[in-house]
Amino acid sequence: MQQTASIAKVSTGIEGLDEVTSGGFPRGRPVLICGSAGCGKTLFGIQFLVKGIVESDEPGVFVSFEETSIDLTNNVASLGFDLDKLTSEGKLRIDHVQIERSEIEETGEYDLEGLFIRLNYAIDAIGAKRVVLDTIESLFSGMQNEGLLRAEIRRLFGWLKEKGVTTVITGERGNNTLTRQGLEEYVSDCVILLDFRVVDQIATRRLRIVKYRGSTHGTNEYPFLIDENGISVIPITSLKLDYGASSDVISTGLPPLDALFKKGGFYKGGSTLISGTAGTAKTILAGYFALGSCLRNERVLLFSFEEAPDQTIRNLLTIGIDLRPYIDSKLLLIHASRPTLYGLEMHLLVVNKLLVEFKPKAVIVDPISSLVSVGSPLEVKAMLVRLIDTLKIHKINALFTCLMSRIGSTADDGTIEAVSSLADNWLFLQNELVDSKRQRSMLIVKSRGMEHYNDSVNFTISPAGISFAASSTPATSNSANGK
């Protein structure tokens, strides 16, 4: 679209990849997908075909050099891909090409015309527009005449191009080359590299477009996810500071807290940071925020990195915040996972996916500081910037809690540093011992573009919830105490 339609493209069938490739794969040309074992090449191919059939009405042929069609069918059934059904409808053909070196003798000259004929027959039988060859390099382990194989594979790619089918060719990654047999030399149009990396015991799948002739494309490494819906790539690096800012105000969910802000709450679409040491009621404030959103009939997505959903609900119930009806009515979705379950990029991907699927108006991350355990401060900061920007673009009310290890010590808290400069509002919670009694207090550190109460406010927590000490709150809701 950005270019003058120089080459026609077809949808890749993989969520997010069309954006990264500015429209999809080149129509009628071969695309090479390479990567090491287990990085998702076969699934990539299957999804390309299945979505091609379902979404673009383009029948497809899958030539499997490794797995039998039964294995393939079973392997992808869990992803909701019903290959048997598509096959019986005449939209899909799976041809398992088996080459057993042990039972084949070679003498004299030959060519791969048999493969060409099979492929041609399969393509014509269903009028296929898409073909997947997975993994054609297996031929090299089945036959000895390498020079001949190379020449024939080159001829095959040329023939597929002439035939006008969009072909995905998978290749196993070599030591110093993209593929073991150097297939990249023969496929010059589009090459995509899949990567499965484990850093600090956390695995992340990534994808990079190595080459795409005649097209603009993203050059970054994009994390991708394999889940129950197949592969999705979510481009998250193209964010800019050009989101709109709303002047509308939403409630914090806690009326006495609203009163501390001149306009009676947070700006819509803003981000709020709640920081404090352990036990300073961060999650409770997050609970109020969630409740407030539910009361406005707006969907809330709560990422809980420390508690299971039931535990969060139970605990909030003890102080009068009842979120159960909203769970039932699907206004509130709690996504609980250990931060170390997967890498930062993957967390971001999950957030992005849920944003698309659940379409929340508010997102809460409790606590954001636990992400530090997954990456270096720099990485965490980069991730948080992306997260906050993403939420901003979607005009989502965001709230992050952040656990500080010690009072007053922000030096070791990379997250605080990272988020505080990005957040629009910052509430700081404290527990102090005054005459052997716990004194809870809250301070609005900042609230961008909004006049707010400047003093620290004392509060207590009872079964009725949070109540502010009368002496320390402003007399009327609108009189911000400008010192």
Partner 1 sequence: MENEQRWELRLYVAGQTPKSILALKNITRYCQENLEGRYSIEVIDLLKTPQLAEGDQIVAIPTLIRKVPIPIRKIIGDLSDEEKVLVGLNIRPLPSKNKP
Between 152 and 413, name the residue whose CB sits nearer to partner 1.
152
Task: Give the nearest distance from C-beta 106 to partner 1 in angstroms.
Answer: 5
Say which residues have a Cβ less than 8 Å from residue 48's Cβ, sequence separation at least 6.
12, 13, 14, 25, 60, 130, 132, 168
Q: 80 burial class (0-12, 13-18, 19+ CB within 10 angstroms)? A: exposed
Between 127 and 325, name the residue whose CB sits nearer to partner 1.
127
Q: Which of 19, 67, 306, 379 is catalytic?
A: 306
- Helix ranges (DSSP H) in 410-454: 414-420
Which residues of the shown chain bind partner 1 in the complex (CB under 8 A)?
Answer: 95, 97-99, 103-115, 117-118, 120-121, 139, 142-143
Task: Give the nearest distance from C-beta 69 to partner 1 in angstroms.
Answer: 11
| CA neighbours closer than 13 Å in the CB half-sphere of residue 44 | 31
Cα angle 32, 239, 201; round to 5:
60
Task: Give the nearest distance from C-beta 124 to partner 1 in angstroms.
Answer: 9
Task: Give the nearest distance from C-beta 81 to partner 1 in angstroms.
Answer: 22
Task: Give the nearest distance from C-beta 294 to partner 1 in angstroms.
Answer: 58
Q: Which of 66, 67, 298, 307 is catalytic?
A: 66
Between 123 and 388, name the residue whose CB sits nearer to partner 1.
123
Burial 368-400, CB ≥16 within 10 A → b, else e: bbbbbebbeeebbbbbbebbbbbbbebebbbbb
**Alpha-carbon gap, residue 145 to 360, rounded angstroms:** 59
Phi/psi for 481 (5° steps) reads: -90, 90
**Residue 105 annotated among the catalytic residues of the structure:** no
Nearest to 30 by CA among 181, 160, 195: 160
Separation of CA 448 from chain center = 29
Measured from the Cβ of residue 141, the count of other Cβ atoms closer than 10 Å reads: 11
Task: Give the nearest distance from C-beta 229 to partner 1 in angstroms.
Answer: 32
Which tokens go with 117?
A: 């004929």
**Residue 306 annotated among the catalytic residues of the structure:** yes
**Alpha-carbon gap, residue 139 to 142, rounded angstroms:** 5
Between 99 and 327, name the residue whose CB sits nearer to partner 1.
99
Handedness of CA 310, 312, 317, 321 (dihedral sign): negative
Catalytically active residues, by annotation: 66, 306
